[in-house]
Structure 1
Amino acid sequence: MAEGDQPVKFTITHYRKQEHTHEAFIKWMVEEHLPLAIPVFKKHGVIEYSLFVTPPPLNDALKQEVGQVRPTWDFADFDCFIEYTLPNAEVIKNIMSDPDWAVALKDQDDWVDVPKALVSLGYSTTYVKDGKAVN
């Protein structure tokens, strides 16, 4: 993981374990996991963290509507998409090796279908902001 001149985006998708509802899963993420995780993020210089929640009714409606126009498209069915903005990729390793991160993940195996996670690392360039073209 080479360092660049600009911050990197690290993303991960999460599927909940099927014994939990989507709502209960997101509640666990926000009310139990994040209070433990945020101090670790601060310690390691995470610039931004966002949780993109994907409720099944919205995704089902999207699939019904857009699927008619684009029948060959696959539609994501994960419960959330997490996006980190980091100063560099080294921060990922630093967080994952932090003992406090293990504490933040203590209940993960009860809630998250970990083998289904999809991760990516890259850069983000904004082309429209506040309704105006940039770059």
Structure 2
Amino acid sequence: MAETTKQQEDRPIRFTLTHYRKAGIAHEAFMKWIVDVHLPKAIPILRKHGITGYALFDTPATFNDPFREKMAFLHPTWQVADYDCIIEYTLPSAQTIENVMTDPEWIEAVQDQEDWVDTSKALLSVGYHTQYLSEGKVINLPQ
């Protein structure tokens, strides 16, 4: 990996993963599987590896379709993403991603994901997370 500065090392690392559901599966059923089936198996393993945050950003068509129509008018060159969700992890280090993905318990916990997730479309990103507005208050900006 590229070199990091001390300031970067002190910032939380965010790993995001976009997911599309498999064809033929309703969005609601997909999200229910993530929350009711996948998460109870996943969270103990995430905690074992020191992951301190997990958030699920649900993007249902009921929001995206009308939003897409508005954006076609407001910003015609912008595209509205069509994935079903973004999973956001807060990690102690980038190495944590590999540690989790190679953990035999994780491999077992995600063994049914191919039944639900179109993994060929997954989009991943990793970087530093810095919040600048929190509960209406400006933070982390030079004064």
The TM tier, using the shorter chain, reads: over 0.9
Percentage of matched positions with identical amino acids = 53
Equivalent in 16, 20, 24 of residue 15 of structure 1: 20
For 1:37, the equivalent position in structure 2 comes to 42
Amino acid at match of 1:114: T
TM-score between the two structures when normalised by the length of structure 1? 0.95
Stretches of structure 1 lacking an aligned partner (at least 5 in a row) = none
SS of the counterpart of 1:122?
strand
SS of the counterpart of 2:71?
helix
Query: Do 1:34 and 1:104's aligned partners in 2 also have CA atoms closer than 8 Å?
Result: no
Equivalent in 119, 122, 135 of residue 117 of structure 1: 122
- 5 Å-filtered alignment, 1:40-55, equals 40-55=45-60
Q: 1 CA distance for matches of 2:137 and 2:95?
A: 33
SS of the counterpart of 2:57?
strand
Two-structure CA RMSD over aligned residues (Å): 1.2
Judge which range, 77-86 or 58-67, deviates more: 58-67
Shift of 1:67: 1.9
Q: After TM superposition, which residue ranges in structure 1, 4 or more long, deviate above 6 angstroms?
A: none
Shift of 1:5: 3.2
Q: 1 CA distance for matches of 2:54 and 2:126?
A: 14
Amino acid at match of 2:74: V
Shift of 1:104: 1.3
Equivalent in 106, 120, 136 of residue 131 of structure 1: 136
Q: 2 CA distance for matches of 1:5 and 1:133?
A: 19
1:77-119: per-residue Cα shift (whole Å, max 9, x none)?
A: 0000000000111111110111110111111111100010000
SS of the counterpart of 2:125?
strand
Q: 2 CA distance for matches of 1:123 and 1:6?
A: 6
Asked if 1:61 corresponds to 2:66, the answer is yes
Stretches of structure 2 lacking an aligned partner (at least 5 in a row) = none
SS of the counterpart of 1:42?
helix
Query: Do 2:11 and 2:129's aligned partners in 1 also have CA atoms closer than 8 Å?
Result: no
Query: Do 1:20 and 1:111's aligned partners in 2 also have CA atoms closer than 8 Å?
Result: yes
- 5 Å-filtered alignment, 1:82-93, equals 82-93=87-98
